[in-house]
């Protein structure tokens, strides 16, 4: 008799939104539960079976020494490790600390900052252990999550695009909000996968899927300026979801330089 594959879901520094995407799968979750044995998923179940695990989904970034140790252990016990969401793939919103004085933050926020044990950085899972696959987004896209889990169960590669969000606007027939409405948009440099959700609702892309492969960020900067963004706006939008991503963080400073 073939052994049922095991699935574990882990949380690091994060908001739980990506784990909720798995619970959000509703109908598909029942079918999935019939194909895998969920052995560790603290968000949804009190069952916490020991490893090893066939597939581990890892949400969140590494921000403490305890997390640095825990991810090593999880990697050791996992045949396939998938980092899920902007926190796990790029350090998340909390990576803003990488460019600030964390000691000052804790002294301002906490009455007794000496009890706070935290690193001065928020880093992606791949900075600590080898990662087999990454699912982008804040939160991740449920269709991509299901495709990835099905792919690993079937022994095939996940069918995840690495083109820009612009390709998804074209595919769904959305008129470009930057060209037609003058709304600044990070879609030309952001990895596809959300289905161009924000432009479909007349909003520019905020880059929550992080940089696409080989993004031409330098060429986009003057277009963002023409469409109303100043230097502060540009700094903020690139630092929002993927502050630790080198392609967004090291964007040649300024296009006028």
Contact residues: ligand SF4, CB under 6 A: 14-15, 17-18, 59, 85-87, 92, 138-139, 165-166, 169, 176-178, 185, 187-188, 196, 199, 205
Give whichever of 156 and 170 is closer to ligand SF4, judged by the CB atom: 170
Distance CA 9, CA 44 (A): 10
| Angle, alpha carbons 13-16-21 (nearest 5°) | 140
| The 3-state secondary structure of 169-215, one letter per residue | HHHHCCCCHHHHHCCCCCHHHEECCCCCHHHHCCCCCCCCCCECCCC
User: Minimum Å distance from CB 45 to ligand SF4?
Assistant: 19
Phi, psi of 33 (to 5 degrees): -60, -25
Minimum distance between the CB of residue 56 and ligand SF4, rounded to whole angstroms? 15
Nearer to ligand SF4, 113 or 195 (CB): 195
Please identify, using beta-carbon distances, which residue of 156 and 203 lies nearer to ligand SF4: 203
Q: How far is the CB of 52 from ligand SF4 (least distance, A)?
A: 25
* Helix, strand or coil, per DSSP, at residue 38: strand
**Helices and strands: H and E segment counts in the chain:** 12, 5
Please tell me the number of Cα atoms within 13 Å of 245 on its side-chain side.
30
Tell me which residue has its CB nearest to ligand SF4: 187
Minimum CB distance to ligand SF4 smaller for 79 or for 176: 176
Q: Least distance (Å) from ligand SF4 to the CB of residue 207?
A: 10
Looking at beta carbons only, is 139 or 215 nearer to ligand SF4? 139
CB of 14 to ligand SF4, least distance (A): 3
């Amino acid at each position: 008799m073939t052994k049922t594959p095991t699935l574990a879901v882990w949380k690091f520094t994060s908001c739980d939104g990506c784990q909720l995407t798995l619970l959000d799968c509703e109908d598909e979750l029942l079918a999935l539960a019939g194909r895998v044995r969920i052995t560790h998923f603290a968000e949804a179940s009190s069952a916490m079976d020991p490893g090893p695990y066939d597939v581990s989904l890892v949400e969140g970034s590494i921000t403490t020494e305890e997390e640095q140790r825990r991810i090593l252990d999880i990697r050791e016990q996992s045949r396939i490790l998938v980092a899920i969401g902007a926190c796990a793939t790029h350090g998340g919103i909390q990576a803003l600390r990488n460019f600030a004085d964390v000691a000052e933050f804790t002294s301002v926020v906490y009455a007794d900052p000496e009890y706070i044990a935290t690193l001065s950085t928020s880093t992606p899972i791949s900075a600590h252990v080898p990662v087999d696959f990454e699912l982008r987004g804040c939160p991740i896209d449920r269709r991509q999550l299901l495709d990835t889990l099905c792919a690993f169960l079937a022994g095939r590669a996940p069918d995840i695009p690495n083109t820009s969000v612009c390709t998804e606007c074209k595919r769904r027939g959305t008129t470009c909000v930057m060209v037609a409405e003058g709304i600044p948009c990070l879609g030309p440099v952001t990895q596809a996968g959300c289905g161009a959700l924000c432009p479909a609702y007349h909003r520019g892309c905020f880059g929550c899927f992080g940089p696409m492969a080989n993004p031409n960020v330098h060429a986009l900067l003057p277009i963002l300026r023409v469409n109303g963004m100043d230097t502060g706006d540009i700094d903020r939008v690139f630092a929002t979801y993927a502050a630790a991503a080198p392609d967004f963080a090291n964007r040649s400073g300024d296009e006028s330089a």
